[in-house]
Structure 1
Amino acid sequence: MSFPLFRTFKMSALCTAALIALSACGGSDDLELVSVEFTHTPAPKASEPDLMAKTYTSSKAIYTYSNGLKEEHPLSYNTLYSVGDKINENKGVKVPAGQLFDAQMNPLQDPLGQPLVAETPDSNSLLKVGSKLYLVTHYEYDWLLSDKSEAWTKPGWYSRAPMSMTLTELKQESNGKLSVVKQRPIDFSSVDGLWIACAGGPTPWNTHLGSEEDYDMIYNPLDKNYSTTTAGVKSMTELYFKNAKQANPYAYGWIPEVTVKEDGSTSVVKHYAMGRGTWELARVMPDARTAYMGDDGTHGQMVMFVADKKADLSAGTLYGAKFTQTSADGGGKGNLEWIRLGHATDAEIKALIDKGTKFTDIWDAKPFDTTAKSCPAGYKHIRAGSTTDECIALKPGMEKAAAFIETRRYIAYLGGTTEFNKYEGVTVNAKDNKLYLAITAIDRGMISSAGEPADHIRFNKLSAGATYTADMKSGVKDTSGNLIDSPHVAVNLYVEPALLGQDIAKDDKGNTASDDRIANPDNLFFSEKMRTIFIGEDSSSAHTNNYLWAYNVDTKKLSRILSLPAGAESTGLQVLDNLDGKGAYIMSNSQHWGDLSANVPEPLKSELKKRIDVFHADVGYIGGLPTLK
């Protein structure tokens, strides 16, 4: 079988796989690599609690060459560190890797006087900077306190905490194995701290692009007590600023960028010009100007940012999508148009925040008439960021503030689509100019419901979710007829059949989705040289064990390549096809081990609890892949 993409790989006919990560073996034969595919790692059974309680792979990567030669390379999972390992050095003292800090970089303690440690390692960016290897890693939220109680259930404690990233210097051995040299926390005090750092990844210019989810920082005009946002502001004010400064909710929900220098120093910025949301991550396209951001929540937005200059996200134009459905079948499909929201610089939007711009400065809001099911005359009925019906009117001269600080509401106000549900990971296939995006569950705004303000999306409910494809084009005009200055404008959405989840009746593990299909996709990363999308799951109930999958876009083969401990989410996904000629790597973390759903039968749950250390969550990688040149 022939494939459209060929890569040259220098090797001898007798070259064999290594155990960790392997450079090309010696030899002078020039062979063209035709394809890479993966064998299936079997899912653990309910009768195998030992397997259900650990991270493992039994997959092999099969390399096929132009002369018909096939090579099998066994994969292996390698842990770099766990969040509890005391490797994170700050002010001359080593603390746990997942330690959280205040604005003065003093370690925070939980209400029991123990270190406040996040069990939630998320995004990774492994960066080669000069002669050094650095790993930037997110910590998303604090799940457990030291007594194993969930943080948001502790009376008098905080529902969420200020978050952190670490910078870990790594060493690469001659056989490709990676190990930790040293680690330190990254200081975000210059940008008012960090709030719910979810996914992220490397940029084309070798920096790390992160995320903030604005949960607990979304003001609801019908919430007279302002209780949810008040809780978030209270946490940042008391825990992070130690009451030296009052936190501003509009200071969170942005895309942060971390630049790493060879000496290990870092600089951080937040890109206010990219808009505000419950960002899962921002993925930059091959032009180094266009970016798409996943908005993780209900009634979410689809946003595209086009920077003025390459490799500079500090200024640009923001667009919001309007979706027109053409079918509800097979996960649903339809076409995309783009509404120009506005142009701004980071400095302009930061100035609006710093001067204390509030929701009530931007919007006039009225209660929704639940009897008449309508808004007062002159007010727009929207749902944006929640299922709450809102009636809003834009105040004069506040277009720019609305576009960049209240992005989701402004898209809805202008007639765009804010019905996406848990739109999470984003990745790009450069050769085919395709975008892939994860919808964890097709539900809420994405299914037809009575009273929906716009009801642009009317798909069939599928709790297992799907990974969507969008074709991208150049020469596309916005809804006002103006040319969008990007070759990567998404024009439609559809699902390849293998990437559609499958709901089932609850099985003996508590699964409510088929173990042989992807359920609740979240993290995405595309390898150009493998022609493969890697898909990590975040399933709280559909799959008791989350998995990491590989889907070859040419052969359409879907393979499970990693099984995670029960309750743990697959995070930290990044694929490096060639790292210093010593191997290819699939970076992979897992968080909140043992966070078991109510679906798991009690006898099985008891067995799993005996075997799973809930304070353990690790940062690691899958090795065993020879370098792809």
Structure 2
Amino acid sequence: MDEFTRRKLMASSAAAAIGIGALGTASAADTDTPGAPTVRGDLKRLATTARGAEVTGPFVFENGEVLFSLQHPSRDNPSPYDTAAVGVLDGHRFDFNGQNDEFDELEAPRSKAAQGRVQVAGGEYDILVQEGDPIDGGDAKWGHPETPDGTDIAEFAGSRYGDVGTNPDMNFFVPTDDEGLEGYLFTNNETSPGSITRTPLSRGADGWTADHEAAMNLENQPAFRELGGTRINCYGDLSPWETPMSSEEDYSHPRVSGSATVSDMVDAESGVGLRGGAAFWNRPNPTAIEGALDDLFEESWYPQGTWALGGVEMQAYYLGAEPVDQDGTTNTTEPVGDGYPNRYRYGHIVEITEPTSEEPIPVKHYVMGRAAFECPEFMPDERTVYLASDGSSKGLYKFVAEEPIPSYDDRMDVRGTLYAARVTNDDAAANEPPAEVDLEIEWLALGTASNAEVASWIADYDDVTQIDYLETHAETDWQADLETALAEADEEVAINGNRDYITDAEILEWATQYEERGPDGVDEELRRVPFLETRAAAKEIGASIEFRKAEGIDSLDDAKPGDFLYVGISELNDGMADDEGAVRMERVDGGVVYRAELESDYDISTLEPVVVGPDATDRESIVDAAPINVDNVLVLKDGRVLLCEDKGNFGRSYTNDALWVYEPPTSLHVDSVAVSQEATGEAELTLSSVPDGLAGGHTSVTLEHTDVAEITGASYHDALELTTDPTISDDGSTVEFQFADIEDEIEPGAMDVTLATVEIEGVGSGTTDIVTDVQALDDDEGTAIEAHPRPGVVVTGPPPIGGGGTGGGAPTDPDGDGRFEDLNGNGRLDYDDVTLLFEHIEDDSVTLNADAYDFNDNGRIDYDDIDELYDEQ
């Protein structure tokens, strides 16, 4: 058997063993997933787009008016709805009262004429700017990047990532006045090279207007080109310090396909059938690789992300490379040399600093990893960032900076830890319908670094070109026989990987050292691995890289613990609903919107389904009334959520995508509280909203473990005039409340209504859930309020260290994070607490209360906890 035949047979058996084939081809024959569809709350259709267009880039101005992008509409629509655009919903304005009764729901578009245009409940779609509009004094086109000599990238032939300018997505407005009626609109355009436009907007008596003359394509500024430009700019975020954050949705980043891992390829002694599209980044005419592999190997497979290699040559020309592969209409295989883009420069979060200056400055947050980022969510602590990645078998990530990000004088000094989510209740979730399963997650630390460190690692690959692909991997001189050299290189890369970039062996060695030494103990030269090959690295250490099309993530701008982070999963299938990995639920092709309650440190640990889409085969009447494939999500300041559709092949009576407004259900929430032993703390009982007022009710609060804490007292809010004395059970586990608002002190539409306060005493170290129950709750119309219970947690601290002799009183938790930093009980964290932990680190009072003193969060007590406590002073 010759080597070529041996390799073909090896490839076929490897793919079969791992179970990898074409992605996204799972059958949609699951017709009866329970709970599909389900909406926990209220939902109304606000707008529908023109035929063929997604709803993307939602934004709500301070005055309540709504803006979104008309992305890639059908060219068959009547003008102006046949051209991509950004527009305002003129005639509709949110009152921010938390209620969907402020507008009449838009009827579904039934006629051909209605389906060919944008429709708005109670208004019109006022277009502000469209693809190709002359801007910047007439010298450029809106959404069109240019080469350094000013040539429109649309003029080049070759593979593309969509038509230039047709995919506007993110929109965020940075005001320049106090009223929020003048400023700059920043819009992403999903193309390669990428495009971020800045358009001046102002609102007068006749509505919003755009200043085309002063609009500019930021991508054409030298500061952007120096970074390699951007690529496939999708959705984004507006940071708490009001800088736009653009996401590079680089689908071509997977180095392994589907659920496969680098270990699988190494074990199989071949990547054929398993390798992803990233390996072929610097191949001449990279999008042609699929056909070339079919010719080389018996096992036909599609390397994940290959389609997104379209436009890579355009990126090179944008950077100034000589366009050697042009023959007038298509790419050739003549390799591009100097100026070819570095693959590790894309797939990042891009911050537009100095957004209102004459020349805004881009910063790529390399330390937040690489993925097909759809969007980030920067939390109010200015340190925590959640990151959603689009596509099949992708991760959910978190980054936590060591200091508030805007506090760094130089953004390249931003330093922090990158995490990937792992689903921990996989057995409980297996084969269950998504509507009935909360996903419990934990965060695996991948590594700690700074932007500057990661940038230095990336720079090591700046000189890699298409010529290197041939000279590194082929034995034949490509200048003498390009066709043979290309085939040899393709075969070698498919089997053994692309040696021009981080190798399979380096990733496995990183993972081995990670398991042995932890994320901060790996060799210096391997620290780059999780930041440059984020998805592959996370897979190797057991993160749940199975999320399917996580396309939206958002929370309140001023979110605090107890508020919610929303995550839109456009389709719940493939990696989330197969027989592989940790997530193996029943499929819902219509997708799911999850929400996660923010904990004291802006962490999240539970994803709760609140909007579940329909099954693909549900009848038309069901599909018409349900949200499908929710993409971007935007949380309004009153807690409602805009849900934007990017629907798949569903049997609606109308073809258009819709913009929905989701009103969460009223929740009865009780605070979490940390108390010391023999001390007391207070937890408030709160209704999230009362759209139609509050007549009265009968509720209770219960502690599940009275050996940890007991209820010792309770009182009502002053607004409640008619009440019974709170009734506390003999064992201190439960208190009951009965009340009425006879003077209508609590007005309809009120939010965060405190009903009562519960006094809790710590009696033993540990934790206990504190839960609520509603026996009756009525509004001012006599209608029952369906309140969704939200539990809290009581954390009771340990007893005094050293028996109280040297330590003083019982330890306390000054910042309420569940860790008892105040070990000596004097009410604050100081150096005496550090020395007390050092002196008693082996005492039972410490070792038997690990949760209280595990300051480095590794699940045990060690000397690094002392270091962490010292750093917190």
**TM-score normalised to structure 1 length:** 0.65
Does the 8 A contact of 1:162 with 1:240 survive in 2? no
1:356 Cα offset (Å): 2.0
Deviates further, 312-321 or 131-140? 312-321
Distance 1:224 1:532 in 2: 39
Q: Report the residue type matching 2:422 in the other structure.
A: K
Pick from 207, 232, 242: which aligns with 2:321? 242
1:333 Cα offset (Å): 2.3
1:315 Cα offset (Å): 2.0
Pick from 552, 557, 569: which aligns with 1:439? 569
Pick from 176, 193, 199: which aligns with 1:129? 176
Distance 2:419 2:392 in 1: 19
The within-5 A match list for 1:79-478 is 79-86=127-134, 88-89=135-136, 92-103=137-148, 105-111=150-156, 117-129=164-176, 132-141=182-191, 161-174=192-205, 176-180=207-211, 182-186=214-218, 187=221, 188-220=224-256, 222=272, 223=275, 226-227=279-280, 230=283, 231=286, 232=309, 233-243=312-322, 244-312=338-406, 314-325=414-425, 326-327=428-429, 328-331=432-435, 332-356=437-461, 360=499, 362-364=502-504, 397-429=524-556, 430=559, 432-449=562-579, 452=580, 455-474=581-600
Q: Say yes or no: does 1:552 pair with 2:663.
A: yes
1:190 Cα offset (Å): 2.0
Distance 1:304 1:99, change over 3 A: same
Distance 1:173 1:219 in 2: 51
Distance 1:228 1:51, change over 3 A: farther
Distance 1:271 1:55 in 2: 36
Distance 1:277 1:521 in 2: 20
Distance 1:340 1:34, change over 3 A: closer
1:491 Cα offset (Å): 0.5
1:457 partner SS:
coil
Distance 1:209 1:348 in 2: 21
Q: Report the residue type matching 1:439 in the other structure.
A: I
Does the 8 A contact of 2:98 with 2:663 survive in 1? no
| Greater C-alpha Rg | 2
Name the residue aligned to 2:680: none
Q: Report the residue type matching 2:530 in the other structure.
A: A
Structure 1 residues 523-550: Cα deviation after superposition (integer angstroms, max 9, x where no partner): 1100122x21101011242363111110
Pick from 73, 78, 94: which aligns with 2:126? 78
Does the 8 A contact of 1:363 with 1:395 survive in 2? no
Structure with the higher fraction of residues in strand conformation:
1
1:415 Cα offset (Å): 1.4
Structure 1 residues 478-498: Cα deviation after superposition (integer angstroms, max 9, x where no partner): xxxxxxxxx1111011211xx
Distance 2:215 2:99 in 1: 37
Distance 1:345 1:552, change over 3 A: same
Name the residue aligned to 2:647: 539
Distance 1:165 1:311 in 2: 22
Structure 1 residues 336-377: Cα deviation after superposition (integer angstroms, max 9, x where no partner): 1111111111110010010129975644359xxxxxxxxx99
Does the 8 A contact of 2:547 with 2:576 survive in 1? yes
Q: Report the residue type matching 1:505 in the other structure.
A: T
Does the 8 A contact of 1:102 with 1:242 survive in 2? no
Pick from 508, 516, 520: which aligns with 2:625? 516
Does the 8 A contact of 2:99 with 2:663 survive in 1? no
1:411 Cα offset (Å): 1.2
Distance 1:217 1:310, change over 3 A: same
Distance 2:124 2:242 in 1: 27
1:379 Cα offset (Å): 9.1
Q: Report the residue type matching 1:463 in the other structure.
A: D
Structure 1 residues 134-191: Cα deviation after superposition (integer angstroms, max 9, x where no partner): 00101102xxxxxxxxxxxxxxxxxxx3121110011211465344353111032021
Q: Report the residue type matching 2:646 in the other structure.
A: D
Name the residue aligned to 1:495: 609
Distance 2:502 2:114 in 1: 53
1:473 partner SS:
coil
Distance 1:96 1:238, change over 3 A: closer
1:211 partner SS:
strand
Does the 8 A contact of 1:197 with 1:212 survive in 2? yes
1:551 Cα offset (Å): 0.4
Does the 8 A contact of 2:248 with 2:373 survive in 1? yes
Distance 2:591 2:621 in 1: 12
Distance 1:206 1:338, change over 3 A: same
Name the residue aligned to 1:49: 112
**TM-score normalised to structure 2 length:** 0.48
Deviates further, 245-254 or 350-359? 350-359
Structure 1 residues 26-77: Cα deviation after superposition (integer angstroms, max 9, x where no partner): xxxxxx95745443111122xx11111110112xxxxxxxxxxxxxxx4442
2:126 partner SS:
strand
Distance 1:139 1:194 in 2: 10
- Where do 5+ consecutive residues of structure 2 fail to align? 1-40, 42-61, 64-88, 257-270, 287-308, 323-337, 465-497, 513-520, 668-750, 752-873
Aligned residues: 453
1:254 Cα offset (Å): 0.6
Name the residue aligned to 1:570: none
2:623 partner SS:
coil
The within-5 A match list for 1:54-69 is 54-58=117-121
1:514 partner SS:
helix
Distance 1:379 1:261 in 2: 40
Distance 1:57 1:39, change over 3 A: same
Distance 1:103 1:179 in 2: 27
What is the alpha-carbon root mean square deviation over aligned residues? Answer: 3.6
1:495 partner SS:
strand
Structure 1 residues 421-456: Cα deviation after superposition (integer angstroms, max 9, x where no partner): 11111001425421111111111110132xx3xx11
- Where do 5+ consecutive residues of structure 1 fail to align? 4-8, 11-17, 25-31, 59-73, 142-160, 367-375, 381-393, 475-486, 557-627
Distance 1:305 1:512, change over 3 A: farther
Q: Higher RCO, 1 or 2 (CA under 8 Å, sep at least 6)?
A: 1
Distance 1:110 1:512, change over 3 A: farther
Q: Report the residue type matching 1:183 in the other structure.
A: A
Structure with the higher fraction of residues in helix conformation:
2
Distance 1:23 1:324 in 2: 39
1:100 Cα offset (Å): 2.5
1:234 Cα offset (Å): 3.3
